[in-house]
């Protein structure tokens, strides 16, 4: 268990810590709450103060997670073992950061090897190296298209495709959960409509929305219009968004019903390949891609009440 600092050894404010470790303030606070990584003292003004040992440990943890380790795993290591792990990772690292295509190639090797844990490591490295936006747009999105193409061509099995999807969904969920957004942030309700069981597109949209400052309420897959409308109202959602991968039977009827059930001022956004099969519906906006999704979020955030 981490021991609290004494006032003599704790002298660095959080601004110094973030500068020296590379951690953002909100990630640092989240790690303190969830993992008890360090226990800062409080100065006379009530602000956190960190010791040299705290700063070193936080920097090591940051470097370990950037190398692909889960913080929940490495946080249990004593500092000397953490140093050794970081040194080992550094010795193996290449001198230049990998491009998105390189991460996708490594990921496909893990997919074909049916190695979801290895896939998770590759994806975490990509996330930490590239940042959330590039990771989602240039690694996850094209990777899942490639996996789908390989499955349709029978070059990978259903088991390989399912294992890869589960690993990606897990990481996207973690990406959403780690953010500590203010209560006043705009809220979006995300789901897939009745008959649509593929949730990956919705989770990519959810992760993108979270990192754009939106509270996300994930309602789940395969929901009828009435339940989506009720849940969105309970969540006080400013936007309702659906992901449609396949264009299931009855989709257009479900969308018409949902548009009628939602208040007129609540936008209904629909994205995914299946959305192309739907005819014109008044009050429904099709989302072309993730860049368009972010643009729509920013547009509607400016119109949301404070």
**Residues near 218 by Cβ (< 8 Å), separated by ≥ 6?**
176, 190, 191, 202, 203, 206
Contact (Cβ atoms closer than 8 angstroms) between residue 130 and residue 100:
yes
**Residues near 83 by Cβ (< 8 Å), separated by ≥ 6?**
60
Mean pLDDT of 80-109: 81
Mean pLDDT of 286-301: 89
Contact (Cβ atoms closer than 8 angstroms) between residue 65 and residue 21:
no
Contact (Cβ atoms closer than 8 angstroms) between residue 179 and residue 193:
no
Domain 187-303 has CATH 3.40.50.280: yes
At the topology level, CATH places domain 100-177 in: 1.10.1240
Give one word for 113, left, alpha or beta, with left for phi > 0 and alpha for psi -120 to 50: alpha
Q: What local confidence, expressed as pLDDT, does residue 223 receive? A: 94
Instruction: Grade residue 54 by pLDDT with cuts at 50, 70 and 90.
Output: very high
Q: Encode pLDDT of 134-181 as tens digits.
A: 899 999 999 998 998 999 899 999 999 999 999 999 999 888 877 666
Contact (Cβ atoms closer than 8 angstroms) between residue 216 and residue 209:
yes
- Total residues found in the chain within this entry: 306
State pTM to two decimals.
Answer: 0.64
Domain 10-92 has CATH 1.10.569.10: no
- Convert 201-231 to b/e letters by CB count within 10 Å (16 or more is b): bbbbbbbbbbbbebbbbbbebebebeebbeb
Instruction: Grade residue 276 by pLDDT with cuts at 50, 70 and 90.
Output: confident
Contact (Cβ atoms closer than 8 angstroms) between residue 129 and residue 98:
yes
Spans of all domains in the chain: 10-92, 100-177, 187-303
Q: How many CB atoms lie within 10 A of CB 187?
A: 18
Q: How many CB atoms lie within 10 A of CB 98?
A: 16
Instruction: Grade residue 279 by pLDDT with cuts at 50, 70 and 90.
Output: confident
Backbone angles phi, psi at 243, to 5 degrees: -110, 130
Q: What local confidence, expressed as pLDDT, does residue 180 receive? A: 67
Q: What local confidence, expressed as pLDDT, does residue 249 receive? A: 76
d(CA 207, CA 91): 32
Where helices occur in the chain by DSSP H, the ranges are 14-21, 25-35, 52-66, 71-74, 79-92, 100-112, 116-130, 132-134, 141-152, 158-177, 200-210, 225-234, 251-261, 290-303
């Amino acid at each position: 268990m981490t021991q609290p600092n004494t006032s003599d050894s704790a002298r660095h404010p959080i601004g110094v810590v973030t500068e020296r470790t590379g951690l953002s303030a909100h990630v640092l606070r989240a790690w303190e709450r969830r993992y008890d990584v360090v226990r800062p003292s409080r100065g006379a003004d009530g602000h956190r103060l960190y010791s040299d040992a705290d700063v070193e440990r936080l920097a090591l943890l940051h470097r370990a997670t950037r190398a692909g380790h889960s913080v929940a795993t490495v946080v249990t290591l004593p500092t000397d073992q953490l140093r050794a792990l970081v040194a080992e990772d550094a010795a193996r690292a290449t001198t230049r950061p990998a491009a998105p295509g390189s991460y996708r190639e490594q990921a496909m090797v893990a997919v074909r090897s049916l190695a979801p844990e290895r896939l998770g490591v590759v994806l975490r490295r990509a996330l930490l190296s590239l940042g959330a936006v590039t990771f989602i747009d240039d690694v996850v999105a094209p990777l899942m298209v490639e996996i789908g193409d390989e499955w349709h061509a029978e070059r990978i099995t259903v088991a390989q495709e399912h294992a890869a999807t589960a690993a990606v969904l897990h990481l996207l969920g973690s990406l959403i959960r780690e953010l500590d957004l203010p209560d006043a942030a705009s809220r979006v309700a995300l789901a897939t409509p009745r008959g649509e069981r593929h949730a990956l597109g919705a989770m990519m949209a959810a992760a993108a929305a979270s990192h754009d400052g939106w509270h996300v309420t994930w309602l789940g897959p395969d929901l009828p219009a009435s339940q989506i409308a009720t849940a969105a109202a309970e969540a006080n959602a400013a936007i309702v968004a659906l992901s449609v991968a396949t264009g299931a039977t009855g989709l257009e009827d479900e969308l018409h019903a949902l548009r009628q059930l939602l208040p007129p001022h609540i936008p209904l956004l629909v994205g995914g390949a299946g959305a192309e099969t739907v005819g014109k519906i008044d009050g429904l906006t099709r989302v072309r891609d993730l860049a368009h999704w972010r643009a729509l979020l920013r547009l509607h955030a400016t119109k949301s009440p404070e």
